[in-house]
Amino acid sequence: MRTTRFGVSMTPTTDVVATREPAVAAEESGLAHAARRAPYAGDARTGRATAAIRRASAAIPPSILRTLTAFTARSGVDLRPALAAVGLHEDVMASTSLRVSYRQSCAVIRRALELTGDARLGLRVGVAEQMTTWGLAGFAGMAAETLRHAIETGVRYQRSIGWMVVWSAGEERDGYVARAELPDPSVDPEVAAFLHEKAFATAVNQTRLGFSPEFRPVRVEFSHRAPVDTTPYDQVFGCPVVFGAPANRLVYCPTLVHSPMPGANPATFASATECLEAQLSAGRGAQELSETLEISIAQSLPEVPSFAEQARRHALSERTLRRRLAVDGTSYEAIVDGGRRERVEHLLRDGDRTLRDIAHQAGFADERGLRRAIRRWYGMSSAELRRHLADNAG
């Protein structure tokens, strides 16, 4: 079996304030490859902390949120309050360089599911998404030589598209298969179902738009349970759909994927991928640096290394360190804030801990500072947050 895997790392910045700095795509990394074997890379000491921080990292282009907002608005459902609740006000959402976190995105999706009452919202949003949503990566896919080439192009540059699943693709025993996995296994089941259904509906719809209107997969497999009514799946996919499967898989005909793309254009493809590769190269070093700092802070709390100390550890001047973090769309202050936020949330889940103890372990000077931070992060009091976490435990 030969499989192409180009994963996506969720590590650049925190979600306290959505960044408007230019953010760039990341190439296949050890972290992304490790996501195929385990939820997150990390040793016994840091695994839990780094997983939490990645959930809060602002690394995702907000294409899903923009599509979802426009789609629900047509049904009279206004998601702007839900966006504002996670710091994504209208002026922020208009930024072309905006990156959002997994946490922010999941919160808005969860609210959309509640407001619409539509358990199959992911399917409908996926079908409504246009090829232009994918930007340069979508353009490159249309210019690829074959359908397989187009799929693997999309997988390689998936981070620039704004997927909230991690795609891999390759030959398996039953055909050519695209797999979609969640980088955060703790996502609510309803949100997880939305993400997988939206991913496969989008992939099939885009294939029909860019390859052939008659395209149908061989089979679609979802890991979540079957709904009462499976008619919408038949309408969207036009093929057998399996629920309760071991993995989320989109199975293609192994011979069909070698068919030429109607818009194949080697020169255009080369030009587009040259730009995408430049983005990968530019972002690689800065992303690794951000990740290293996140882990360092998770290990150091309640103490926080000074910015000068971090620069010294990395043999960089403070100015260079600040500039490299800016390339990744973040700052040291934002990374520290995100690390503290995750530590606070983890400690609040233990109902026996006092606020004084939590403030100390998260590196706050006193309870007052902790209370202000919780209000800023979550828009609620510490008592309300503790109840919310208890209600959603498990």
Strands 249-252 and 219-221: antiparallel
Helix (H) or strand (E) holding 257: none
Q: Which of 236, 267, 298 finishes a domain?
A: 267
Nearest to 188 by CA among 264, 131, 107, 244: 107
Q: Could you give the C-alpha distances from 182 to 8, 35, 193, 392, in angstroms and in order?
A: 10, 9, 10, 19
Please indicate, yes or no, whether residues 311 and 370 belong to a single structural domain of this protein: yes
Distance of CA 248 to the CA centre of its chain: 16
Q: Which of 217, 240, 267 finishes a domain?
A: 267
| Residue 272 belongs to some domain of the structure | no
Q: What is the pTM of this model?
A: 0.67
Task: Please give the backbone phi and psi of residue 146, each rounded to the nearest 5 degrees, phi first.
Answer: -130, 170
Please indicate, yes or no, whether residues 249 and 295 belong to a single structural domain of this protein: no
Please indicate, yes or no, whether residues 311 and 186 belong to a single structural domain of this protein: no
The structural domain count of the chain equals 2
Please indicate, yes or no, whether residues 254 and 329 belong to a single structural domain of this protein: no
| Residue 368 belongs to some domain of the structure | yes
Q: Which of 211, 243, 267 finishes a domain?
A: 267
Domain span holding position 186: 3-267
- Kindly report each contact of residues 350-358 with a partner whose C-beta sits within 8 Å and lies 24 or more positions away, as own/partner: 351/386, 351/390, 355/382
Ordered per-residue pLDDT tens for the chain, 394 residues = 444 433 333 333 334 333 333 222 222 332 233 223 222 222 222 233 333 434 555 667 899 999 999 999 999 999 999 998 888 888 888 887 787 888 889 989 999 999 999 999 999 999 999 888 888 999 999 999 999 999 999 998 888 888 999 899 999 999 999 999 987 666 889 999 999 999 999 999 999 999 999 999 999 999 999 999 999 999 999 999 999 999 999 999 999 999 999 999 999 999 999 999 887 776 666 666 777 788 788 878 999 989 998 888 777 889 988 988 887 767 889 889 888 988 898 888 877 889 999 999 999 999 999 999 998 888 889 998 888 777 766 5
What 8-state DSSP symbol labels residue 163? -
| CATH number of the domain enclosing 313 | 1.10.10.60
Please indicate, yes or no, whether residues 234 and 327 belong to a single structural domain of this protein: no
Please indicate, yes or no, whether residues 307 and 215 belong to a single structural domain of this protein: no
